[in-house]
Structure 1
Amino acid sequence: MNHAKPAWPIYTGGGTPHDGIDRLPKPPPWRNFSADGAGAISRHIGEHRTATFRPDQSTVEAVNAAIFLRRPLLVSGTPGSGKSTLAYSIAHELGLRDVLHWPITSRSTLAEGLYQYDAIGRLQDTRVEHPDEERRDATFRAGRPIGDYIRLGPLGTALLSEEGDKPRVLLIDELDKCDVDLPNDLLNVFEEGTFVIPELERASPDRLVDGKDGTRRFEVYTADTNEKREVIDGRVSTRVFPIVVMTSNNEREFPWAFQRRCLRVRLEAPSADRLAAIVEAHLGEVDETAQDRIDWFLGLQQDEQRLAIDQLLNVLYLGRTPGIDWSSAQFDSLRETLTTKMGTEPGRANRTPPA
């Protein structure tokens, strides 16, 4: 007889140390961080998300139009409708490099997306090497290249390109969280396709002038791990416009001038068949219990009690965890926690999912 303890629960709140963490099962496929390196993790999660993503024809046409016209896409829709996944789907199907991801917050600025200059790190390095001021000044002029202290952001990396390069896919996620100035700031960069790095533009030319053509060439880090690219005369210019996917949850309106320079597309909530395909791709066969919960989820959508697809997947994943009995009243609060309607506080009752 197997007396092994079930996986759930691990934490009991009893205060006595134990080895329950050893029973922790493998993570959900969409939360697997075991790949090597940040790029590999992003690629792994992105590929998994695109496994069942099938945009409708109008979305496909909008993507193609944006690629041909070299215009950014502004994608709206409810959480879980696949807005971010669209960027990964484009990169995956076209065989492009890892998606450059720029998550937006209320504090995000254009400079954050373009580049960062580590002035403090540069100063600290020179102080360590040469404490006295005179020799420190000389180190600034003849020490490590200034490019070692500059890293392009996701937008800057996407723009830096040469003839013959394949375009990068740039995901500017949840743009509607930004402050009022960022859309217009982005518009200027998208229209011009270039920006200046003042720290490089001002750099002393005495050791940086290229003898062949008189240009100043700097190698700077990109948003890709440990990769460096060349910047000429302190100006980043695009020769191959990136495929830009900007997502919005419709939390705010954007300036009309910004909207008309984008191609706008709205992703609708998934159908029953698409939901079943998503569940099958993530968690395997859709049994009767899973189908009941999918029907419950769709019922909430029809009642305008919007839940994200992630919430449905969370319910189904934990529902298959040994030790959880969904027919038990003990887990009513857990079900409610997992399915709290967006915009409401935990503890506000939703329609209870089927046991």
Structure 2
Amino acid sequence: MESEAAMTEDWAIYKGAGVPHDSIGNLPAPPPWRVFDGEPVMDSPPPSTAHADVVRATTYRPDPQIVQQVNAALYLRRPLLVTGPPGTGKTTLAYAVAHELSLGPVLRWSISSQVSLRDGLYQYDPLGRLQDASRRTTDDEDVGRYLRLGPLGTAMLPFTKPRVLLIDEIDKSDLDLPNDLLTIFEDGSYEIPELVRANTHTAEVLDAGGTSRVTITDGRVTCRAFPVVIMTSNGEREFPPAFLRRCITVAIPQPTGPELNRIIAAHLPDMADDAADIIDQFLIRRSAGELATDQLLNAIYLTQVTGAADPRSLATDLMPYLSAQPPETHAG
């Protein structure tokens, strides 16, 4: 009951209801050690109207503990580290927060072992700059035209309201990236050496969307509203203690039967009443191996739309185990 109470307490800015509101303006001032004063202040972009973003945001059903930890991250201006098996809604959480709090489109940074900190901050085109230098007839040079901010770099701009930054599958990064991120998150700022070396007082640089230019002063970006950073992990590695103690953490478990019913009612309301058999089949199979909730949604949709003669067999084919399992029959 404690966790249920946590979701309804008056201090919650993010309610987890999927209904947009402007309560982000009620967020109290940050703790003194998390105050940032970046300039020039920038207006926040309008919310995403992309159909896929809206659907995943409005159909997401977080449990009370997730709602509580999101609000803790908002109040404390700290990154949120979300762990859990594939298909439990870790990525969708970022879109749900951005949609409900009207914080603009999600800035998504997908991580692999080859990704470096600079990839998230900005991209630089030295070849284009060199080619243009050979054709230039004056000493004037616009270094900013050869730079484009990445998702992390854009999220740290001095917006009036925080942007939502999704760092997806951070457990796939190399060993240094979590510690490199610590400096950015603690300082709330970063430097672009190419602008500093060029002694450029102001530069106009493309943001991550590639459609707008933003002003950077003296080669340094400092945030104003610390972004809502949501980092996802499938639990494939451990993180350094220094990294963990600066994050708000939450683990998303596999949804139970009642939770699955709520998810299906949100995604497939017209099919929920006839989904009991496939849900039972999914739960039995999941007890023996790894499955994801979207596999269940696919199975319910296809078996009902097609009116399959053998829905259990079709559902089994649509719900293969996500990790190695012994050979199986269609007994399901």
TM, length-normalised to structure 2: 0.78
Match for residue 154 of structure 2 among 152, 157, 162: 157
Deviation at 1:320, TM superposition (A): 4.0
Mapped pair 1:267 → 2:252? yes
Q: Find the residue that maps to 2:105 and give its secondary structure.
A: coil
Q: State the identity %.
A: 48
For 1:312, give the aligned amino acid: L
Deviation at 1:296, TM superposition (A): 1.3
Deviation at 1:341, TM superposition (A): 1.0
Q: Find the residue that maps to 1:142 and give its secondary structure.
A: coil
* Cα distance in 2 for residues equivalent to 1:40 and 1:96: 6
Aligned to 1:106: 113
1:147-199 CA distance string (max 9 Å, x none): 1221111111111115xx10001111111111111111111111111111111
Pairwise CA RMSD: 2.6
Aligned to 1:327: 310
Mapped pair 1:77 → 2:84? yes
Cα distance change of structure 1 residues 197 and 326 upon mapping to structure 2, 3 Å threshold: farther
Mapped pair 1:198 → 2:193? yes
Q: Note if contact 1:340-1:350 (Cα within 8 Å) is conserved in structure 2.
A: no
Aligned to 2:175: 180
* Cα distance in 2 for residues equivalent to 1:275 and 1:42: 27
* Cα distance in 1 for residues equivalent to 2:317 and 2:180: 39
1:50-90 CA distance string (max 9 Å, x none): 22323222222211111111110111112121111111111
* Cα distance in 2 for residues equivalent to 1:105 and 1:273: 35
Deviation at 1:348, TM superposition (A): 3.6
For 2:301, give the aligned amino acid: Y
Q: Map 1:1-355 onto structure 2 (within 5 A).
A: 43-126=50-133, 130=135, 136=136, 138=137, 141-142=139-140, 145-162=142-159, 165-203=160-198, 205=199, 216-286=201-271, 289-301=274-286, 303-322=287-306, 325-327=308-310, 335-344=315-324, 348-349=327-328, 352-353=331-332
* Cα distance in 2 for residues equivalent to 1:168 and 1:142: 34
* Cα distance in 1 for residues equivalent to 2:186 and 2:330: 48
- Higher alpha-carbon Rg: 1
Deviation at 1:288, TM superposition (A): 5.7
Cα distance change of structure 1 residues 304 and 161 upon mapping to structure 2, 3 Å threshold: farther
* Cα distance in 2 for residues equivalent to 1:82 and 1:253: 21
Q: Find the residue that maps to 1:340 and give its secondary structure.
A: coil
Aligned length, in residue pairs: 287
Aligned to 1:15: none
Deviation at 1:126, TM superposition (A): 5.0
Q: Note if contact 2:91-2:166 (Cα within 8 Å) is conserved in structure 1.
A: yes
Q: Note if contact 2:48-2:104 (Cα within 8 Å) is conserved in structure 1.
A: no
Q: Find the residue that maps to 1:241 and give its secondary structure.
A: coil
* Cα distance in 1 for residues equivalent to 2:329 and 2:266: 27
* Cα distance in 2 for residues equivalent to 1:109 and 1:103: 11
Unaligned runs of at least 5 residues, structure 2? 1-45
* Cα distance in 1 for residues equivalent to 2:128 and 2:236: 38
Q: Note if contact 2:109-2:165 (Cα within 8 Å) is conserved in structure 1.
A: yes
Q: Note if contact 1:193-1:238 (Cα within 8 Å) is conserved in structure 2.
A: yes
* Cα distance in 2 for residues equivalent to 1:305 and 1:158: 38
1:264-296 CA distance string (max 9 Å, x none): 111122232332332233334125652211121
Q: Find the residue that maps to 2:231 and give its secondary structure.
A: strand
* Cα distance in 1 for residues equivalent to 2:54 and 2:121: 26
Deviation at 1:114, TM superposition (A): 0.6
Cα distance change of structure 1 residues 316 and 153 upon mapping to structure 2, 3 Å threshold: same
Deviation at 1:101, TM superposition (A): 0.6
Greater alpha carbon shift after TM alignment, 284-293 vs 96-105: 284-293
Cα distance change of structure 1 residues 251 and 338 upon mapping to structure 2, 3 Å threshold: same
Cα distance change of structure 1 residues 351 and 275 upon mapping to structure 2, 3 Å threshold: farther
Q: Which consecutive aligned stretches of 4+ in structure 1 deviate over 6 angstroms post-superposition?
A: 39-42
Q: Note if contact 2:271-2:301 (Cα within 8 Å) is conserved in structure 1.
A: no
Cα distance change of structure 1 residues 287 and 110 upon mapping to structure 2, 3 Å threshold: closer
* Cα distance in 2 for residues equivalent to 1:106 and 1:240: 29
Q: Note if contact 1:52-1:277 (Cα within 8 Å) is conserved in structure 2.
A: no
